[in-house]
Amino acid sequence: MSELLLAATSLDVTPSPGHRMDGYAARIAYSTGTADPLRATIIWLGTADDPGVLWLSLDAIAVGKNLCTELAEAAAAAAGIPASRVVVSASHTHSGPSGWSGEIHPVIPAEREPDLYEPLIAAVAKASLPRRPVTASWRSVEVTGVGANRHRKHGPHDNTAGTLALHALDGSLAAVLLDFACHPTTYGPENLRWSADWPGAARAALGPAVVGYLQGAAGDVSPRFTRQGRGATEVTRLGGLLASRVREALAGTGLELSQSAPAIRRTTISLPVRDLPSADEAASIVTAAACAVPGRVDNPSGRIAQTRLDGARGQALMATAALPPMLELPVSVVTMGDVCWINLPVELFAVHGASLQADSMHPITRVVGYTDGYYGYIVDKAAAESGAYEALITFFDQPTTDRLLTETVTFMNS
């Protein structure tokens, strides 16, 4: 059997200041500088005779369809593999540029900026990816204090971090593929500097190994109830909490994985866009939500009320937009030994991630969102009934959400 090979690198792709930032509808000013670097991280695993899988993780709010295609082709060219073997994921930081992908949702209108996305794609295409033999092992560890359900402090959320560790033959840690579920929203809309938020701090704390970060089922999970501030100090603290638990796990014995190349399967799931309220109905919902916002919004309850107003305004924009009747969602499954990563281009709620894991036939299943495209939130019944922010701007109703989960499970287990 051929030995397992790794090629990995982390590229600083931080733009210059003066561009629109993504993530918050309330943020209207352009970027003024850099708090910490935005990165494109590449981790390829394969063998001499198997092109395996390449993970490209980008510090961005999302990766739109066009950007996914361009980055996959660029990374494939750099690695010498087919583009179909490349998985492109976003960390979901809310302090990156909108100009890489352009408009990902009517909530925040944006346009692609060639002077932003062209250098990004060029940097990936020119990445140096020498191959070296490695061994692969798996660990999962509980992490508390970073994220929590952002609607209910003790509501559901997955607090486990999944870690694929790749060690060189001399025993040194060469690369880590880390997944965890929590919005990178330590910085708020007042921040005007590029930042990877706490995932970037976690990567830095785990260096010098190359660390690729995959965002999990984080649609309703954030640091809203765990953060102690909104600046660089808190970014470092939260990232350090995650990194310290991962380091503890790495110091112990992991599950040795098969030294064969990971495999990938792909499908497309077609889903109808939900019926939206009329423009007048949407405007009335905005008025009601505005009346519910308290004088202060710098606490969890005030923030929830403010986000519901943001959601109502977003729904009003959707009600007047020319949305397609159907959306085509790319879904992929990557397997390596006992480990399965199910990748979807949506923001799944924690209960959906737990459901996919419970229904999986694979011994270890990790749910990854924000991958190979972006089609907004997938919400649960409670959020839909309460008129939560995410439910107001979702493209899909509850029957369609159930259909996505059912078809995903069928594909994952096939």
Could you tell me the two tokens for 343? 């990748």
Q: Are 180 and 216 in contact (CB under 8 A)?
A: yes
The reported pLDDT for the residue numbered 292 is 82
d(CA 370, CA 68): 11
Residue 289 lies in a domain: no
Residue 333's domain comprises 1-268+328-387+396-414
Average pLDDT over residues 234-256: 97
Average pLDDT over residues 340-367: 98
The owner of tokens 């792909």 is: 266
d(CA 190, CA 343): 32
Average pLDDT over residues 73-88: 98
d(CA 188, CA 27): 9
The reported pLDDT for the residue numbered 296 is 67
Residue 304 lies in a domain: no
**What are the E-state strand segments in 236-384?**
255-256, 263-272, 326-336, 339-343, 347-348, 364-368, 377-378
Residue 299 lies in a domain: no
Residue 36 lies in a domain: yes
The reported pLDDT for the residue numbered 311 is 86
The reported pLDDT for the residue numbered 314 is 87
> Which candidate, 145, 144, 36, places its Cα nearest to that of 91?
36
Could you tell me the two tokens for 106? 């009517």
> For residue 297, is pLDDT > 70?
no
Residue 178 lies in a domain: yes
Residue 142 lies in a domain: yes
The reported pLDDT for the residue numbered 302 is 79
Residue 411 lies in a domain: yes
The reported pLDDT for the residue numbered 404 is 98
pLDDT band of residue 126 (cuts 50, 70, 90) is very high
pLDDT tens readout for residues 38-62: 999 999 999 999 999 999 999 999 9
pLDDT tens readout for residues 96-122: 999 999 999 988 889 999 999 999 999
pLDDT band of residue 224 (cuts 50, 70, 90) is very high
Q: How many domains does the chain have?
A: 1
Other CB atoms within 10 Å distance of the CB of residue 29? 10
> For residue 1, is pLDDT > 80?
no
The reported pLDDT for the residue numbered 194 is 98
pLDDT tens readout for residues 190-211: 999 999 999 999 999 999 999 9
The reported pLDDT for the residue numbered 388 is 87
Average pLDDT over residues 373-390: 92
> Which candidate, 163, 178, 165, 77, places its Cα nearest to that of 125?
77
Strand pairing category for 50-58 and 132-142: unpaired
Average pLDDT over residues 61-73: 97
pLDDT tens readout for residues 263-276: 999 999 999 999 99
Burial of 316 (0-12, 13-18, 19+ CB in 10 A): buried
Residue 321 lies in a domain: no
> For residue 293, is pLDDT > 80?
yes
